[in-house]
């Protein structure tokens, strides 16, 4: 853990926790640095166990003080007010997201911050229509009963989110949790504390009752994240991040038998059949491999292309990949930013070396770009394509979470389905074909939570999102979020 004593020096921004309706600092802080050039973005407070405890107790108190008894219509109103607040400070959120991640401004505007707003509005609308169940029941002795099922809040929900889509993934959990009447303690990634702090400011300005939303900053293992998930007074944990972290959290919540929802890693496949619309498939795989420098859990790092079009596909994807422009957010022509940190770049570069050791052909990339300016201090890598590896190679089986893909040929539908499914992960897949029945058939056989046919990353927030195997537990999205963030209670009434 990189932590240093005391707050920010004059002129430096200090990002504080938001606990019980107040912004509070801690003695220990850490640096939030730009992945573009290593410059200091802000100093960030590191929550100790006592601060986490205060946040959980504030949430519990707010829960009892009335939030749990508020009506769905009232909470929907609050959620829309928060969405209005984000919109009013839209460019501040964009700037915070760009400062922490180095991504292009366009992406922060059209994807990250826009989805932050939509997450609040969607769950504000969905909660108004959340409904229970009703059954009429007769017993053998002539008794007559009605059974109805109501939703109650879980209580206090611990939310732990990652750095790759900071505001989007945080609000994806905060919005439905609040909508269902829970109070929350949220811990964003230590790499991306900026937009979460702005969210706390917006929530504060909106006048949400103190303690309903609490934000703590800090690291994960043996730090704020772990203190939160171990806390005996939280009722549920919702987590997005690495599978290994999910496993650690699962052990920590086991004693308290807490409810969990996990959205974890992936090693997603794109399958391109020879009958696919060739240009659309190349464009689709370009996006699915390199969007956000490959740092989207749904990115495809394994690409399978039917043999008759294999060589042509590799050549076309190489051309398009080499036309991507790696650069800083200030460069309007840049289409790909840096990785999130030097630590993550070291990991991705270790996979670059491993691919070569494992015998890959490097079709393009495999190195870092040279700028001859301050950006050479940044965490940039080139988008990279490999071919020639067996499915058992580590770079074909392990999640790299960078702008990489390995392309392999295949000869039959059965073969490619088996190869796609031969993975420890099961998050998402995309299938490119113009053969209607084949598309549906393959989608049914692929063992992932999401399958796109002739598309990638189209998200309707009413649909379930999540993965199987190492990719997660449970589904969020639409009524699935409403189900996770509520406790269903069956009430049985004798009527005769």
Binding site for ligand NAD (CB under 6 A): 160-164, 169, 187, 189-190, 219-221, 225-226, 229, 240-242, 245, 248-249, 263-266, 297, 399, 401, 427, 467, 471-472
Tokens of 326: 């790696």
Of 78 and 213, CB closest to ligand NAD: 213
Contact assessment for residue 327 and residue 333, using Cβ atoms and an 8 Å cutoff? yes
Write down the least CB distance from residue 480 to ligand NAD, Å. Answer: 13
Of 30 and 410, CB closest to ligand NAD: 30
Secondary structure letter of residue 384 according to DSSP: E
Write down the least CB distance from residue 188 to ligand NAD, Å. Answer: 6
Write down the least CB distance from residue 108 to ligand NAD, Å. Answer: 16
Cα 63 from chain centre: 26
User: How does strand 183-187 pair with strand 213-215?
Assistant: parallel
Write down the least CB distance from residue 85 to ligand NAD, Å. Answer: 23
Measure Cα distances from 135 to 129, 298, 483 in Å. 19, 39, 19
The single residue of 97, 263, 399, 476 carrying the catalytic annotation is 263
Residue number of the CB closest to ligand NAD reads 220
Of 75 and 469, CB closest to ligand NAD: 469
The DSSP bridge partners found for residue 405 are: 385
Of 99 and 216, CB closest to ligand NAD: 216
Tokens of 429: 């897949």
Write down the least CB distance from residue 470 to ligand NAD, Å. Answer: 10
Of 225 and 439, CB closest to ligand NAD: 225
Tokens of 368: 């870092």
Write down the least CB distance from residue 279 to ligand NAD, Å. Answer: 29
438 φ/ψ sector (left φ>0, alpha ψ -120 to 50, else beta): alpha
Could you tell me which residues come within 8 angstroms of residue 86 by beta carbon, excluding any fewer than 6 positions away? Answer: 93, 113, 116, 117, 120, 199, 202
Task: Reply yes or no on whether 283 is catalytic.
Answer: no
Of 103 and 151, CB closest to ligand NAD: 103
Could you tell me which residues come within 8 angstroms of residue 478 by beta carbon, excluding any fewer than 6 positions away? Answer: 126, 461, 462, 463, 464
156 φ/ψ sector (left φ>0, alpha ψ -120 to 50, else beta): beta
Q: Which residues are identified as catalytic? A: 263
């Amino acid at each position: 853990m990189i932590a240093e004593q005391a707050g920010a020096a004059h002129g430096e921004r200090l990002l504080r926790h938001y606990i019980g309706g107040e912004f509070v600092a801690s003695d220990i802080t850490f640096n939030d640095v730009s992945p573009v050039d290593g410059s200091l973005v802000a100093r960030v407070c590191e929550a100790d166990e006592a601060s986490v405890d205060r946040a959980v107790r504030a949430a519990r108190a707010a829960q009892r003080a009335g939030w749990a008894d508020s009506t769905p219509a009232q909470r929907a109103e609050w959620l829309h007010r928060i969405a209005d607040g984000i919109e009013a400070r839209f460019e501040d959120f964009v700037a915070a997201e760009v400062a922490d991640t180095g991504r292009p401004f366009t992406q922060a505007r059209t994807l990250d911050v826009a989805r932050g707003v939509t997450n609040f509005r969607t769950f504000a609308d969905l909660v108004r229509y959340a409904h229970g169940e009703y059954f009429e029941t007769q017993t053998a002795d002539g008794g007559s009963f009605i059974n109805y099922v109501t939703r109650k809040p879980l209580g206090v929900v611990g939310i732990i989110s990652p750095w790759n889509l900071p505001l989007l993934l945080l609000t994806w959990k905060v919005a439905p949790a609040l909508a269902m009447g829970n109070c929350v303690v949220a811990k964003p990634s230590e790499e991306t504390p900026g937009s979460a702090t702005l969210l706390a400011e917006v929530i504060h300005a909106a006048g949400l009752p103190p303690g309903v939303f609490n934000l703590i900053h800090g690291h994960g293992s043996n730090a704020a994240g772990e203190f939160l998930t171990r806390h005996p007074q939280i009722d549920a944990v919702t987590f997005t991040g690495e599978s290994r972290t999910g496993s650690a959290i699962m052990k920590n919540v086991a004693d308290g038998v807490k409810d969990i929802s996990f959205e974890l890693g992936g090693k997603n496949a794109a399958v391109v059949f020879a009958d696919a619309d060739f240009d659309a498939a190349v464009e689709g795989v370009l996006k699915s491999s390199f969007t956000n420098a490959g740092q989207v859990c749904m990115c495809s790092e394994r690409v399978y292309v039917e043999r008759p079009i294999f060589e042509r596909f590799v050549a076309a994807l190489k051309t398009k990949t080499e036309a991507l422009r790696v650069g800083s957010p200030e460069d309007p022509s840049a289409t790909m930013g840096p990785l999130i940190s030097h630590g993550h770049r070291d990991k991705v570069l270790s996979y670059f070396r491993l691919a070569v050791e494992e015998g890959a052909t490097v079709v393009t990339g495999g190195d870092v770009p040279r700028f001859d300016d301050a950006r050479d201090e940044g965490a940039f890598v080139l988008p990279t394509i490999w071919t020639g590896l067996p499915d058992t190679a580590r770079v074909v089986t392990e999640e790299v979470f960078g702008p990489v893909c390995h392309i392999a040929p295949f000869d039959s539908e059965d073969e490619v389905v088996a190869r796609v499914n031969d993975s420890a992960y099961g998050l998402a897949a995309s299938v490119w074909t113009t053969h209607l029945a084949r598309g549906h058939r393959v989608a049914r056989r692929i063992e992932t939570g999401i399958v796109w046919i002739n598309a990638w990353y189209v998200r309707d927030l009413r649909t379930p999102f999540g993965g199987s195997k190492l990719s997660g537990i449970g589904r969020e999205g639409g009524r699935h979020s409403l189900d996770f963030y509520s406790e269903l209670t069956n009430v049985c009434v004798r009527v005769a």
